[in-house]
């Protein structure tokens, strides 16, 4: 995350309540907003585990 309370965290590690706030207030424009919206959908639908194979590659 490039700014705010969670600056420096990976978007995949943002807490659900923060993503929910963006969903209510509006996502930023551009690629960052698209990634936050995607992460919100993954979190909201309890699909964060889909990211596990990507995390294991590191």
pLDDT tens-digit readout, 14-26: 999 999 999 999 9
Q: Is residue 53 part of a domain?
A: no
Q: Is residue 58 part of a domain?
A: no
Q: How confident is the model at residue 8 (pLDDT cuts 50, 70, 90)?
A: very high
Distances (CA, A) of 43 to 22, 36, 56: 13, 10, 19
Contact (Cβ atoms closer than 8 angstroms) between residue 39 and residue 15: no
Q: Is residue 10 part of a domain?
A: yes
Residue 1 corresponds to which tokens in the numbers above? 């995350």
Say how far apart CA 49 and CA 30 lie, in whole Å: 25
Domain span at 20: 1-48
Q: Is residue 56 part of a domain?
A: no
| Average pLDDT for 6-16 | 95
Residue 22 corresponds to which tokens in the numbers above? 């963006």
Per-residue model confidence as pLDDT tens digits over 18-53: 999 999 999 999 999 999 999 999 999 999 999 999
Q: How many domains does the chain fold into?
A: 1
Q: Is residue 55 part of a domain?
A: no
Q: Where in the chain does DSSP place strands (E)?
A: none
Residue 54 corresponds to which tokens in the numbers above? 């990507």
Give the residue carrying structure tokens 């889909």: 50
Q: Is the pLDDT of residue 58 over 70?
A: no
């Amino acid at each position: 995350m490039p700014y705010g309370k969670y600056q420096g965290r990976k978007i995949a590690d943002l807490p659900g309540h923060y993503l929910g706030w963006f969903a209510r207030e509006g996502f930023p424009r551009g690629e960052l907003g698209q990634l936050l919206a995607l992460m919100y959908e993954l979190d909201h639908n309890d699909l964060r585990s889909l990211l596990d194979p990507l995390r294991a590659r590191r």
